């Protein structure tokens, strides 16, 4: 019979101690990962809170100036249309020609062209009327 270096009591306690040690090691690793995740989330929450505060300040500023700016909205939307400006241009030219007592003929509207964020439309037309009226029309353009 072989004699064991470990007594029977130590053998009985050995396996539970091994499980306990493995559990403690796993707990330490899980705790380190959990703490790092929590600190990362706190940092993200802090950044988002500061961003939210800045956006709220911007929103309140925009609400304050909305009253002052609303008077200029109609004029700017007519001057700089969002879509193809050809229809607005033709309408303005016809109104201006009728004020001068002229008639517009031979309209030719090109396609909408965009260069560097600016859109433009080529528009050619003819004008019938008296020379002084045509000159006045050209000066008003």
Give the start-to-end residue ranges of the domains of the chain. Answer: 1-80, 81-140
Q: What pLDDT does residue 81 have?
A: 60
The Cα 89–Cα 134 span in angstroms is 18
Residue 110 has pLDDT above 80, yes or no: no
Residue 74 has pLDDT above 90, yes or no: no
Q: How confident is the model at residue 83 (pLDDT cuts 50, 70, 90)?
A: low
Q: pLDDT digits over 6-31, tens only?
A: 667 777 788 888 999 999 999 999 99
Which pTM does this prediction carry? Answer: 0.39
Distances (CA, A) of 5 to 8, 11, 14, 78, 136: 10, 10, 13, 98, 119
Enumerate the β-bridge partners of residue 119: 114
Distances (CA, A) of 23 to 17, 19, 34: 10, 6, 16
Residue 113 has pLDDT above 80, yes or no: no
Q: Using the Cα atoms of residue 22, residue 24, residue 26 and residue 29 in order, give the sign of their dihedral.
A: negative
């Amino acid at each position: 019979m072989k004699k064991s270096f470990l007594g029977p009591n130590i053998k009985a306690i050995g396996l539970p101690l091994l499980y306990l040690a493995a559990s403690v090691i796993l707990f330490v690793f899980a705790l380190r990962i959990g703490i790092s995740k929590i600190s990362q989330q706190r940092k993200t929450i802090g950044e988002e809170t500061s961003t939210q505060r800045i956006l709220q300040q911007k929103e309140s500023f925009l609400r304050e100036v909305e009253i002052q700016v609303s008077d200029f909205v109609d004029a700017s939307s007519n001057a700089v249309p969002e879509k193809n400006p050809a229809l607005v241009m033709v309408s303005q030219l016809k109104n201006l020609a009728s004020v001068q007592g002229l008639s517009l003929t031979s309209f030719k509207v090109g396609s909408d062209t965009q260069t560097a964020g600016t859109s433009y439309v080529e528009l050619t037309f003819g004008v019938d009327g008296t020379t002084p009226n045509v000159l006045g029309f050209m000066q008003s353009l």
